[in-house]
Amino acid sequence: MDHSAEQDKKGKSRRGFLVKAAVGVGVLLGTGYLTRPVWRRSIAGMVNTADAPYVGDTKTPPLWFEVTADNEIILRSPKVEMGQGTFTGLAQIAADELEVAIGRIKVVHASTASGNIDGFSTGGSTSISSLWMPLRELAATMREMLKNEAANILGVDVAALSVADGVITASERSLTYGEVVKEVKEWDIPAVPPLKDVSTYRYVGQPIPRVDLKDKVIGAPIFGMDAVLSDMLYGAVVRPTAIGSKYVSADTSRAEGMPGVVKVVKEKDFVGVVATSQMAADNAKKAIDVTWDIPKTWELSDIEAMIQVGQGTPYVIQKEGRAASILAAEEGIITAEYKSPIGAHAQMEPNGAVAHVTADQATVLISTQVVGLTRKEVADRLGFDQEQVNIQPTYLGGGFGRRLHTPHAIQAALMSRAVGKPVKYFFDRKEEFQNDTFRPPTHHVLKAKLGADGLIEAMEHNVSSGDVMFGSPILPGILEPIVGADVGAWRGGMIQYGKIPHYRAVSWRVKLPFATSWWRSLGLLANTFAIESFMDELAIQAGKDPVQFRLDQIQDDPAGRRLQAVITAAATRANWQDGVLPNGRAMGFAASTDANTPVAQVVEVAIVDNEIKVLKVTCAIDPGLAVNPDQVRSQCEGAIIMGMSAGMFEKMIVRNGELQPTIYGPYQMALMRDAPREIDVVLLAGTDAPGAVGEPPLGPIVAAIANAVFRLTGQRLREMPLTLV
Amino acid sequence: MKITFQINGTAQTVETDENTPLLWVIRDLLDLKGTKFGCGKAACGACTIHVNGEAVRSCSYAANLAAGQNITTIEGLAVGDELHPVQQAWLEEIVPQCGYCQPGFMMATAALLEKIPNPTDDDIDANIVNVCRCATYYRMRKAIHRAAAIKSVNQ
């Protein structure tokens, strides 16, 4: 950052700071840090940059830190922890600038009443990258505030102070941060001090254990499903099984008098029941007969007919040169089609909520990725102001994008209001599978023409997809004409080989009759499967090594050099060899760039009893500065196997109007036996700030496997899940 | 009906409908929240507990079957402050991501190690069949081998 920009930011930050006396526990420090052009940056950030901003919610008291009397520092995270390791990264960043041992930092979820929540969401692999600068500046400022006050108390110049592990010392005398906080009534807020050099950090860059590790190993009650309020009752809601169902009416006479039933709750759009136990609620729910209006009995063939390149509305999302006219030629054009199915989130913790609504206040404890949106939806439905609603997020038993819309908080709130007591309820697993916000199915048409030198002269990717971003209430509909194509659907859909003279990508939008939306990595999974499988086909047609074929067509700019670096690193580390190996295995290769993070993967595959077995995966990733290298590795390992699961096993179908299957097992997913015995992750750092981690490693895996399978069997598998003939 | 059983070393008597899944008795009546609901059909293993040392999926195990049995949940796996070798190994390998399914996996693993103290990879594949959506299987496999090693040293 140049000097003038630094000065500018200081000024803004200074004006925005807020300090409040805490109730008996210490100091709360906050800031209205961000006044950036929010929506457009967020959208761009979700797609192509690692620079997505943290979007503060200006309606909430912007409180970040609380220092307790015994010198513990509570960091109220505006981002939720869903397994991605964000709490650990934030603790590392805060500990380094605050100069405390990391054990003193306790990260908790901010509620809408207690702290900053992210006005946008937790998602898009942006939690660490978006908070990297704000959190460092906040923590550094707080450290300086504490030092200034300590200097006043001790009657010395601030320059005479030293700080170590939350203790401020001047010659013989020492004060803990907690002791300073106890003495101060009014805070003077300094300008943001210069940040420490990253190379001097003790925690950032180190593979320290997750801060939530112990809780998760002992089974601590940290999830939404575990939430309890005193005098709580149990609710259940009847959900539809058929696509397009609209609630009409319900016959609740059988349920009314059943044992344990406290109240049947009928609202304009649903019917629920509140009972004294889970079992009683479940039994009563089964006794309610709901009449649904189901305009059409959908079948999978209906859906497949809609998801076709050429149907719906096309948007040109990338254009360089004259690809369309060159590829309109009648001869010499290579073309191939790919498909991906409907995918379920299948997160392990079902959706649900605990709500307590009184005459003028509502509290909701919930696993959600959209704290602010949930508050708004609950407030709107109850007729409350947003300030009357407190959403307390909990640890999430998996997010993966499923919790980027959690309107079931409304149903919990309405049931609570109906009985005047806290009510907890959650989906059963069948309801999860039939009321998901699915990963949309896709259809891809790839075309290319090879030049005389065996490199690509022109290439085009057409993708047809159900909505991703446009299916989501995170983004107001007014943005549709601004952003044009569905940026979620075409994530990963652009051609990343910039030396190709003529290329073009086109996104075809289709609105499906069931909800489709964010699924970890969005369009990246299917788009990369299609593009990188096709690249392999082209390399084979050109008689070239697929790794070199890619390297030769990447442009020489910063993004291109980072992509080349991960490709070279993965190939070198895996001892890349094209063709069937002496041990009967074959390698497959693919690469992608997502949210500015390039990833390359080499897989080793064997065919055992006519099944595809992935034995080893080598993954080179450049997420920039890895705040916690161990958690970057962990995210890569998980993303690789989740991508394998989606690419090799998972498939929702539509039959007789219903989405199926509705249970694990029939919805086949990767299990222990399917996980590679070896996963080798190579970390590169092509930039000095943290970038995206959680989603990018899902990109290459399916294509890499399909490319290996072709070498072993001669079968080019162009449809997910990959299935041998 | 009243049902009496041992859970984590303590005798408990609960009043419940006999067909209530033991999972709800454990979670809602005894307030032990480490045992998770995942699917309700014994298909995912998030609710795995031990009944007389055997791994059982408690969402599909009627409460009346628990009468007189010796039950262990994740909260009873450690002995005082000392973690069970499986928990210790999970800690050392930094296995969990979201963490929701992990108690079920640890309970399944602890039961496996009582039967097969030093399981091979094939033993692990055949016996650990729970579902983890974060797909932490790679580290779990390492943790299972590590747990076996810790356990053999302790004995």
3-state DSSP call for residue A108? strand
CA torsion through residues A335, A341, A346, A351, sign? positive
Is residue A16 very low, low, confident or very high in pLDDT (cuts 50, 70, 90)?
very low
Domain co-membership, B102 together with B132 = yes
Q: Give DSSP secondary structure letters for A556-605.
A: SSHHHHHHHHHHHHHHHHTT---SB-TTS-EEEEEEEEETTEEEEEEEEE
Taking residue A592's Cβ as centre, other Cβ atoms within 10 Å add up to: 28
Q: Based on the number of CB atoms within 10 Å of its own CB, is A165 exposed (0-12), middle (13-18) or buried (19 or more)?
A: middle
pLDDT of residue A186 exceeding 80, the answer is no
Question: Whose CA is closest to A425, among A239, A586, A559?
Answer: A239
- Kindly determine whether residue A212 and residue B136, on different chains, have CB atoms separated by under 8 Å: no
pLDDT of residue B63 exceeding 80, the answer is yes
- CB of A214 within 8 Å of a chain B CB? The answer is yes
Order of strands, sheet of A362-366, starting from the edge strand that comes earlier in the sequence: A261-266, A271-275, A233-237, A423-426, A352-357, A362-366, A389-393
Question: Whose CA is closest to A146, among A51, A15, A29, A252?
Answer: A29
Domain co-membership, B138 together with B104 = yes
Helix H, strand E, coil C: the string for B76-140 is: HCCECCECCHHHHHHHHCCCCCCCCCHHHHHHHHHHHHHHCCCCCHHHHHHHCCCCCCCCCHHHH
Question: Whose CA is closest to A566, among A546, A591, A544?
Answer: A591
Cα A396 to Cα A89, A365, A367, distances in angstroms: 17, 11, 5
Q: Please tell me the distance in Å from B68's CA to the nearest CA on chain A.
A: 22
- Residue-wise burial string across B58-76, b where 16 or more C-beta atoms lie within 10 A, e elsewhere: bbebbbeebeebebbbbbb
If contacts are CB pairs under 8 Å, which of residues 250-309 in chain A contact chain B?
A: 277-279
- CB of A232 within 8 Å of a chain B CB? The answer is no
**Chain B residues touching residue A668 (CB < 8 angstroms):** none
Question: Whose CA is closest to A248, among A271, A265, A282?
Answer: A271
Where does A307-343+437-713 sit in CATH, by number?
A: 3.30.365.10
- Side-chain-side CA neighbours of A492 within 13 Å: the count stands at 33
Cα A628 to Cα A80, A560, A690, distances in angstroms: 17, 25, 10
Give phi and psi for A11, each to the nearest 5: -60, -45
Domain co-membership, B14 together with B69 = yes
Question: Whose CA is closest to A83, among A403, A495, A476, A513?
Answer: A403
- Side-chain-side CA neighbours of A76 within 13 Å: the count stands at 24
- Side-chain-side CA neighbours of A620 within 13 Å: the count stands at 22
Evaluate the omega torsion of the peptide bond into residue A661 and state whether it is cis, within 30 degrees of 0. yes
pLDDT of residue A35 exceeding 60, the answer is no
Which residues, other chains included, contact B98 with Cβ-Cβ below 8 Å and sequence gap of 6+?
A82, A83, A347, A348, A349, A395, A396, A397, A398, A399, B133, B134
CA angle A681, A687, A688 (to 5 degrees): 105
pLDDT at A667: 98
Task: Tell me the average pLDDT across A536-544.
Answer: 98
3-state DSSP call for residue A661? coil
Query: Which of B76, B101, B133 is the C-terminal boundary of a domain?
Result: B76
- Kindly determine whether residue B38 and residue A429, on different chains, have CB atoms separated by under 8 Å: yes
Average pLDDT across chain A, whole number? 90
Task: Tell me the average pLDDT across A414-434.
Answer: 98
3-state DSSP call for residue A395? strand
Question: Whose CA is closest to A591, among A614, A618, A557?
Answer: A618
Measured between CA atoms, the residue of chain B closest to residue A674 is: B125
- Assigned CATH class of A3-214: alpha beta
Which tops the pLDDT comparison, A692 or A1?
A692
pLDDT of residue A27 exceeding 90, the answer is no
If contacts are CB pairs under 8 Å, which of residues 621-640 in chain A contact chain B?
A: 630, 634-635, 637-640
Give phi and psi for A20, each to the nearest 5: -130, 145
DSSP code for A689: S
3-state DSSP call for residue B64? helix
Q: Please tell me the distance in Å from A400's CA to the nearest CA on chain B.
A: 9
pLDDT at A479: 59
Query: Which of B76, B109, B131 is the C-terminal boundary of a domain?
Result: B76
pLDDT tens-digit series, residues B124-137: 999 999 999 999 99
* Owner of token pair 């399909």: A706
Domain co-membership, B6 together with B65 = yes
pLDDT at A559: 96
pLDDT of residue A481 exceeding 80, the answer is no
pLDDT tens-digit series, residues A89-110: 999 999 999 999 999 999 999 8
Which range marks the domain in which residue B112 is found?
Answer: 85-154
Give phi and psi for A540, each to the nearest 5: -65, -45
Highest-confidence segment of A143-152, A271-280, A311-320: A271-280
Domain co-membership, B15 together with B37 = yes
- Kindly determine whether residue A217 and residue B91, on different chains, have CB atoms separated by under 8 Å: yes
- CB of A544 within 8 Å of a chain B CB? The answer is no
Domain co-membership, B112 together with B141 = yes
Domain co-membership, B93 together with B146 = yes
3-state DSSP call for residue A341? coil
pLDDT of residue A520 exceeding 90, the answer is yes
pLDDT at A10: 36
Measured between CA atoms, the residue of chain A closest to residue B123 is: A673
Is residue A522 very low, low, confident or very high in pLDDT (cuts 50, 70, 90)?
very high
Query: Which of B36, B58, B76 is the C-terminal boundary of a domain?
Result: B76
pLDDT tens-digit series, residues B13-59: 999 998 999 999 999 999 999 999 999 999 999 999 999 999 999 99
Measured between CA atoms, the residue of chain B closest to residue A666 is: B43
**Rounded distance, CA A172 to CA A516, Å?**
64
CATH code for position B48: 3.10.20.30
Which residue of A216, A230, A608 is the best one to mutate when testing the B interface, meaning the one whose CB has the most B CBs within 10 A?
A: A216
Taking residue A97's Cβ as centre, other Cβ atoms within 10 Å add up to: 22
A137 and A85 in contact (C-beta within 8 Å)?
no
**Rounded distance, CA A332 to CA A493, Å?**
24
pLDDT of residue A61 exceeding 80, the answer is no
What the block records as the tokens of A682 is 């190579």
Residues of chain A with CATH 3.30.365.10: 3-214, 224-294+351-426, 307-343+437-713
**Rounded distance, CA A464 to CA A467, Å?**
10
Q: How many domains does chain B have?
A: 2
Domain co-membership, B104 together with B138 = yes
Domain co-membership, B63 together with B11 = yes
DSSP code for A404: G
CATH code for position B131: 1.10.150.120
ipTM: 0.98
What the block records as the tokens of B143 is 């943790």
Q: Does domain A224-294+351-426 have CATH number 3.30.365.10?
A: yes
What the block records as the tokens of A532 is 């990188």
Q: Please tell me the distance in Å from B152's CA to the nearest CA on chain A.
A: 21
pLDDT of residue A269 exceeding 70, the answer is yes
Task: Tell me the average pLDDT across A571-587.
Answer: 97
pLDDT of residue B152 exceeding 70, the answer is yes
Measured between CA atoms, the residue of chain B closest to residue A615 is: B138
pLDDT tens-digit series, residues A588-645: 999 999 999 999 999 999 999 999 999 999 999 999 999 999 999 999 999 999 999 9
Measured between CA atoms, the residue of chain B closest to residue A86 is: B97
Domain co-membership, B110 together with B128 = yes
Domain co-membership, B18 together with B71 = yes
Domain co-membership, B89 together with B56 = no
